Structure 1
Amino acid sequence: MIELKTPREIEEMKPAGRFVGGILKELQETTKVGTNLLEIDEFVHKKIVDRKGAESCYVDYAPDFGTGPFAHYICTSVNDAVLHGVPYDYSLKDGDLVSLDLAISVDGWVADSAVSFVVGKDPDPEDLRIIKCTEEALAAAIDVAKPGNRLGDISNTIGDVAREYGYPINLEFGGHGVGHIMHGDPHVPNDGRAHHGYKLREGLVIAIEPWFLKTTDEIFQDPKDGWTLRASDGSRGAHSEHTIAITENGPIVFTDRTNL
């Protein structure tokens, strides 16, 4: 069921967005060659423990698309891994493409966001290009997230940006409703038909999350951890995500990192 938030509830969701956005901003600034994925996980764990009212949305999360409960505080996807990456004992190397996906509940309200970046001094231009594509698709989708438009307008906008860049589009995983739980209705696919689907209304809160792989739309679940989703052909991917609220004055980006 799709739930609409009241203006008061939207205000109550803002602290979670700032918290998640702030953590991702700090991680992007401090993650470098040599950083271990388990260090990133522990950093987030400590942030949650130190914040009154904060709870991980990932620890013990056990949906049907994973194998058993997730046991970490953040998703760390590297290179050909694009979603649900399980942190493990791996120190980042020069040129690694890293995607960090984080969802935390603060005082009962969830915020969910993701960022991708390359560590090291000599990033591959093709890595930077696919990251830019996800960022542009996210920004364009947010721009059309207005009352009266349709869910298909958001999805179609994301798909159009991907097509302009020449990247294939996977529809298995996408955005979703956000509120007291991390994954709710509606599903927000990364491609669709403009002017079709659910009519956007004030109070709708969703996570929009474009993610693409360079040369395939096919993924597989890593059998080693039962969670990490990787490109079927080994190509690299990127992922950008924000939690937003649709209001009469335009979208509110809860997880915006630019002014933190």
Structure 2
Amino acid sequence: MLQTSRTVTPDDPRLDQARRFVRQLEESLASTPRHLPVDGLDRIGGDDQTGTVTCVVDARGDFVDLRVRSDWWYTLGPSGVASAILDALQYAQDKAMLAMAVLRRHGRTLPAPPTGDRFQHDEFAARPGDIWAEWGAAEARVQRGYDTMAAADRVVETRDSAEPRTISGPRGLFHLTLVGFTVASAEVNPRIAARDADAIADDARATLRQATREKDPTYWFSGLFRDATTRVDEFGNAEQVR
């Protein structure tokens, strides 16, 4: 989960929504057998305080999706949309944390983190009695171990770095600045127009997905991340920006 500051205060107008979310989750738990997953925890939505931006996260608080209402120009304006996106993300993460707390209180199994292991399939899978295939499989496992350690080191290096890095969407409309995996700030291109609601949402969606992906050690196997400043293309791939 990307680290963001907590936003719900005692006077937050969304407190009633959070309480309603918890009540509904409690009701779902009461009607769901313990061996079955609870519906809805893979898509937990949170709005900014104006209700203009909605972010969706999973139960672990990882970003899933985002929507910007078409009237954003009048409710937020170009100077407020970036902070509203972060506000919605933070509130959705708050609700995810509440969900995890409720699951723990009821003794339910917490959602497992996504593995995304690109190397689960062993291309050197040995056939019975094939000594050379068995040797190749053993070598592949050893190499995979080295790759895993290198990827983990890269994640720790990024997490502990004090240098800010910026991730931008494919259109260059939304920019997210992080220090380690903590969100420091966000901004939008000042040349955006009222008609750009979907374009802003697309850019922010790609950027937040990329920022979330970089916390997964298996991402680093891909070799996509090459520099502290990254732009995400229309297919969700990262490219170096000089």
Same fold (TM > 0.5): no
The higher-RCO structure (CA 8 Å, 6+ apart) is 1
Q: TM-score, normalised by structure 1?
A: 0.24
Q: TM-score, normalised by structure 2?
A: 0.26
- Structure whose residues are more often strand by fraction: 1
- Structure whose residues are more often helix by fraction: 2
State the structure with more CA Rg: 2
